[in-house]
Amino acid sequence: MNRFLLSSVALAGLVFVAACTDQKSNVENAGVEQDRAESYTQPDAAMQNPLLAPWTGPYGGVPAFDTVKLEDLKPALEIGMKRNLAEIDAITANPDAPSFENTIVALERAGRDLNRVFRYWGIWSSNMSSPEFRKIQGEMAPVLSEFSSKITQNAALFARVKAVYEGEEMKTLRPDQQRVVLLNYEGFARNGATLNEADKARYTAINSRLSELQTKFSNNVLADEEKYVTYISAEQLGGLPESFIKAAAAAAKSRGHDGQYAITNTRSSMSPFLTYSDERDLREIVWRTYYSRGDNGDANDNNAIIAEILQLRDERVGLLGYDNYASWRLENRMAKTPERALALMEAVWPAALARVEEEVADMQAIVDAEGGDFKIAPWDYRYYAEKVRKAKYDLDSDEVKQYLQLDNLRDALFFVADELFGYEFKPVPEGSVPVFHPDVKVWEVTMKDSGEAVGLWYLDPFARPGKRSGAWATTYRSYENIDGKQTVLGSNNSNFVKGAPGEPVLISWDDANTLFHEFGHALHFFSSKVDYPTLNGGVRDYTEFQSQLLERWLSTDAVIDKFLVHHETGEPIPEELVTKIKAASKFNQGFSTTEYLASALVDMRYHTVDPTGIDPDKFERETLAELGMPEEIPMRHRSTQFGHIFSGEGYSAGYYGYMWADVLTADAAEAFAEAPGGFYDKQVAKKLVDHLFAVRNAVDPADAYRAFRGRDANIEALMRDRGFPVPVKDQN
């Protein structure tokens, strides 16, 4: 879908930049932007709005994070929408017959002024949220939705797009140009352009209301993350690693609780606390606080919001003739139908449950041996899993953390980018590129051999109030080549707990995997060689593949040998410890697979049933019971905090996509493992870049994967990868 088509689907990117999404950016060089700005506006005070100003400075122009002010956001949006509509009017008023150049390429160029504003919106929404921003967000979300409908339901515009799509010129276009036409056409047809006037009006009203609800959902979760902080005393620190204690002390002090220790209501704080704390009562408090976000029966409760969102989504796709929301959502994804997505998940589910049963039995044995008079509960799982890990593999996760310094791991990312893509990362001089927070650092990315500019990489690694939890990647500007090549401005964002001044930031193996995962998205951005902005988008159950695949390089010998050194002694990680890590690589797969699949299955159930009168809390409980969900494990994202599917529509009826992509990942990883040069094999790496990264969405994902692997992927590699029994193929 074109970047200016701000349906409720696209608005998801403005409300919730989901972990691992690609926010398309369509900013050109400053000179071209200035020409366009002058052609669509009158010389008045509005032109001075810094959020609309063309990006200037080094590296092809960069966002003016140091000069923009929140007070300029609302007027910038209003002006940007007017400019965008003027561009649309110019396209529809063109007296010439519709063509690829005067209609499709014109649409590809449209909306860049407004798009610049959205880059700042995304920062305020995800990285620097505040009550003042949330007020503007609430006011403008329905306005933006109405604006989007003016474009998606513009009959004259759709007629021109349809004429190109169905015309003779289509047969003469290059394959990538044909795909641009197809994606533009579907962007209209799948979002109400074919409806009658009455249904268009209702469609617009639904989108407007959805934008309000999805914004409210996101802000409610963020409010609960900020509101509920668990403070503990020095007497309650038993079992916690020293690095965590120092970070918790710093977090408490920054919140005015000097002398105490803050367990913030985010995964990056919750998970290590539940893993190491000896205080079972406190573990329960922290667990309940985290998993109750948005479900506290107060002003921030999301249950009623979920019910209305589901009802409206179902009604909207009904106007388009679909049986349910999931059928509409998956139609242009790799899975194609809800049934195919469910078939994959249900094939893995029994093996995951069986593994959980084994894991719980191992943990319960330790509880009983220690004289504990209780059954394993959800707040015990991580704690006793760690004990089992030590017992089975003699592997202490905190010992591993001593070799996982954030700065070293960042350098490991650069090493892998060099080996596979030929990229070189150099820190930009302090102050030469504006940033939105002192924690943000910036690197210049170039081709190592030629010195050709690729772009800039921004890293915002630490948690803070006003920043949503989790990890994600985004772009401020994507590659395109309509009016000349433009460099990429890519960003990775994490929520690591910042250490005390002068202390190294040590992270877990799982967090290191996430770091590599999100960097995979950044490499996907940087490697783009597509001419048109729309082709920088992606198919949701495919776009996670590239990032999940990059996780595999964390455990390669080259990364381990070069970058995993002790933070105090500088000694490399012992070979014995590496052997333990690799031996335990399939450990706890029952937990990780089940908590994820539960969320994915509930998501799909939500979007395939009749939502009339639905009670989300009851629906969640009943669905999990029907699935046989182990009582010792919660969903990874309970409904009331499931931002992937309710803060927007980027992953709605699509959370299964992580597993779909993981099938591709496991299969592609075996291609590297089988190659003569292993994970650094130059020939396989070139095929990876050429067929799976550089083409972005210019090629159908299934065709792209076949070009890389020579065949389709299958589930056997995934099952082997997780240590699950490989299903026996039907020989008939």
Residue 129, token pair as written in the block: 């949220």
How many CB atoms sit inside 10 A of residue 390's CB? 16
Q: Would you call 196 helix, strand, or coil by DSSP?
A: coil
What sign for the dihedral angle of Cα 647, 497, 21, 711? negative
User: Are 573 and 403 a contacting pair, CB within 8 Å?
Assistant: yes
- 231 bridge partner residues: 262
Distance between CA atoms of 337 and 326, rounded to whole angstroms? 8
Contacts of 448 (CB under 8 A, 6+ apart): 418, 422, 423, 424
Q: Would you call 110 helix, strand, or coil by DSSP?
A: coil
Q: Would you call 491 helix, strand, or coil by DSSP?
A: strand
Length of the chain in terms of residues written? 732
Residue 354, token pair as written in the block: 């069986």
Of 132, 146, 32, 152, the C-alpha closest to 73 is: 132
Distance between CA atoms of 324 and 317, rounded to whole angstroms? 7
Of 181, 211, 206, 213, the C-alpha closest to 192 is: 206
Distance between CA atoms of 659 and 642, rounded to whole angstroms? 17
330 residue type, one letter:
L
Distance between CA atoms of 339 and 351, rounded to whole angstroms? 19
Residue 676, token pair as written in the block: 């003569």
- 426 bridge partner residues: 444
> What residues act catalytically?
518
Contacts of 684 (CB under 8 A, 6+ apart): 671, 672, 675, 677
Contacts of 147 (CB under 8 A, 6+ apart): 6, 81, 84, 85
Pairing state between β 261-263 and 230-232: antiparallel
Of 722, 700, 661, the C-alpha closest to 341 is: 661
Distance between CA atoms of 592 and 584, rounded to whole angstroms? 14
Chain Cα centroid distance, residue 624: 25
User: Are 492 and 519 a contacting pair, CB within 8 Å?
Assistant: yes
Task: Report the alpha-carbon angle 667-599-214, nearest 5.
Answer: 115
User: Are 451 and 425 a contacting pair, CB within 8 Å?
Assistant: no
